[in-house]
Amino acid sequence: MKDTNNPLFKAYFNAISALDIPCYEGEEPDDVKHNIYVVISDPVGSDTSTSNSFDQQKTIQVAVHSWSYKYASSSGLNNTVDSILQAILPTPNSVLDLSADNLQMMNLTLDADRTERYGELASKNYISRFLIFKQDIFVLS
């Protein structure tokens, strides 16, 4: 068995950071000044090993948070999410490369996509989208 959390987080972080979107692990710092930023949560998973291989099924949440001045639409947030989806899952059979860590990702899917509108605070509207990706990971020997 091999832990896959760090390689999985690194693959998502690298894909999103390449888009010049501020990206954080676990939670954002207290002094975030970006109107749109991403927080990647810790992966959640289970062992799906067989008698011939070590396998895991993992989900990972990518939260895209935005704030803008009152009455602004969510189009900036949605455009950012579109860029992230195209970077992570551009085709139905796309996977992220984990080969540097001797792992292989298979069956990458968007398991959930939820929008949360928090309302107004200090004349700013806060909206978030939560993307949950599910993937199978095969540990190469």
Instruction: Please say if the pLDDT value at position 141 is more than 70.
Output: no
The arithmetic mean of pLDDT across residues 46-51, rounded, is 85
User: Can you give the pTM of this predicted structure?
Assistant: 0.90
What's the CA gap between 86 and 91, in Å, rounded?
A: 8
- pLDDT (0 to 100) of residue 118: 79
CB 67 within 8 A of CB 124: yes
CB 62 within 8 A of CB 40: yes
CB 21 within 8 A of CB 37: yes
Range of the domain at 135: 5-139
Q: Give 72's pLDDT tier (boundaries 50, 70, 90).
A: low
Tokens of 53: 């291989």
Tokens of 49: 């090993």
- pLDDT (0 to 100) of residue 2: 84
Residue 78 maps to which CATH number?
A: 3.30.2000.30
Other C-beta atoms closer than 10 Å to the C-beta of 22 total 17
Looking at every residue in the chain, the average pLDDT score rounds to 90
Tokens of 102: 């001797």
Specify the number of domains making up the chain: 1
State which amino acid sits at residue 64: V
User: What is the tens place of the pLDDT at every residue in 93-137?
Assistant: 999 999 999 999 999 999 999 999 877 776 777 889 999 999 999
Tokens of 67: 């704030």
- pLDDT (0 to 100) of residue 70: 61
- The SS3 of residue 42 is coil
